[in-house]
Structure 1
Amino acid sequence: MLWKPVTIIGPWLWSAAVGVAVVGLWIWLTAPWDDGNDRWKLVAGQSSVTYGQVIATGEHEAWAFGWDILGIAAWIPVADGPHRPTAFHWDGNRWTRSDFPVKLGDVGSVAASGPSNVWVTAGGSVLRWDGRVWAVVQAPPGASGGLAVTADNDVRIFGDHKMWHYNGTTWSERSLSFHAFRVSARSASDVWALDGAGPWVRHFDGEVWTRVDLTPALPKAPPPSDDFPPHPGGPQLTAITADPSGVWITGEIGASSFLLFQAGSGWRSEDTSAKAGRMVRGLPPVPDGRGGHWFVGSTDINGYDSALAHRDPAGRWSRVPSGGELTSLTAVPGGPLLATGLIGRASGVFRNLP
């Protein structure tokens, strides 16, 4: 019979261990994490937008959207229940709550062309902020998909194989041969959409939709391993941004993230896992106004420990850990980056510190 040594902790070691634990708890409780850290400063402590969306609409304008959990689910973490959509407005100085005309439901898509033309799908309704109040827009039933907004008289809402267009006065309906699940537009005659059925992007020139097959540019699946078996569906496209510098698409294959972009007359893919980390939230690239883009990357294989990643116009990458979890990102023109998320014990809207 083999005997294994047994370690006995003496009273003084036990007291020391307890002391260390108490000190650690005290440091956590008293740490300055209730307002962010040295990289992200909490500017709106609103827990309802922690997993919501933030969007800049001007140099001194931004909105953050989320939802409050109602009923018994608000007290039981594992329970689900009705939600109340919430909205908070930033005027360049402070954040204030702005109530929606709908009282139940989650916030879906968000888009804007300026401070007085902000559109949101929430609670099964399509809402518009005209610079003064939120109002329910009488859009056709089922218009709860992606939003593309380029002007007051050019708003597109996508549903299941359908698109509704608002010209500032009336709505028109159009059938689509595909399901658009992510959209981005540069003008009324330059709209891009990811096709939910395959590795294709669709382009609208103001008259017709054209399918662009991205298969030749897509990355190949990495060899399977014990930790990551082969992905049965192949590459998955997750988000799209169309801006003056081009069209930028993020995606995932297995446990790897990638970026697709236009290169000359074709498309090119770039593995971003080592440069930005996994980008698992499906957030669109955020233009920096100088031809580069910001991304919410990560520092861990699962993509939960967020990092702020940047790609400049020359293709050079940088990545800085956020110290928490970022759930959405936007850039104020000529100003700071804003993000929703959770850092330490703080949650809500954060401003990036230089």
Structure 2
Amino acid sequence: MSDVLAQIQHRVRQAHAQQTPLSIRGGGTKAFHPLGAPAPGQTLELRPLAGVIEHEPTELVITVRAGTRVDEVQALLARHGQCLAFEPPQFAPGGTVGGMVASGLSGPARASVGALRDFVLGVELLNGQGELLRFGGQVMKNVAGYDVSRLMAGSWGQLAVITEVSLKVLPVAPAEATLRFELDQAQALAQLHRWGGQPLPLNASCWVQDEGRGVLYVRLRGAQAAVRSACAQMGGERLHEVQGDWDACRDHSLPWFAARAPQHALWRLSLPQTAPVLALPPGVDAPLVEWHGGLRWVQAAESAGEALRAAARAAGGSACVFRAADADGTRARAVFDLESPSLQAIHHRLKQAFDPAGIFNTGRA
């Protein structure tokens, strides 16, 4: 065990013994999120726990300590022609792998390649009693059964301190193309559904209303022949040198996100891809749509929350605040739209099993 890990373990055991809350901190790049804001208690800094433990390019797996910067991991993978296919968002420099997994967020390619949690092969963690535990491994067959390692994805540090992660990586696609279409939202959703039933290398999509016109962007990735054939079949305008725009979509730096009014929160609506255009509250503009219709970003006041949640539930999904309208916005209670008593009971039992004293990131849920 490294000296840094031993010190972190000592801090956790001490906090458990004294019933002292701990605020787990990585790079702090998601502090804007209601579940990413600093929690009450003493800060438990994980950035010193950094470094690549193992990278075996031929096995398509990398194991790193939780404090390792995401951009450093991506740079290492790029040198071997590999990538984190789920495109983790990077809202600011300095994000760590532990924070990446704890937030569970995925980028534009999520609808085609899967979510972050699908790439987590194993984790090492400290539970609320300071016990060092390891789950999963470095190959897919080790994640059969009750998958505790993937349970850490999206836990926001409320269950355990992630100390080490093993991730599946993929080769960079041989070919890529971005197509542009002028379509309104209903037309774009219908077209995406039609394409979804065809053998096309669809990788990502983004629909946005730009100066009153609806525009759909579609990214194709795959073999050279497959991408060329899809471009010829789908039509549209082929764009060039647009990777920066997809990065901006991933990191919420597109003009649509920057134009958010100060009094508006950014809402995240997770829906079935087949959900129709939603009837949004009066005065709420059209959303930005990703994941072939499965993810819709809406800019609206927090007072519109009940209407947004009702619209999302009616379509078979959920709505939550992603960025609050102001510094006090963490008061927005509906971070998770959990109405099911059974889901609430599972959440409570997991918290009791991992952190019985409730010392990790208290007050976040």
Normalised TM-score (structure 1): 0.28
Larger CA Rg, structure 1 vs 2: 1
Write 1 or 2 for the structure with the bigger share of helix: 2
Per chain length, whose mean CA-contact separation is higher, i.e. which structure has more relative contact order (CA < 8 Å, sep 6+)? 2
**TM-score, normalising length from structure 2?**
0.28
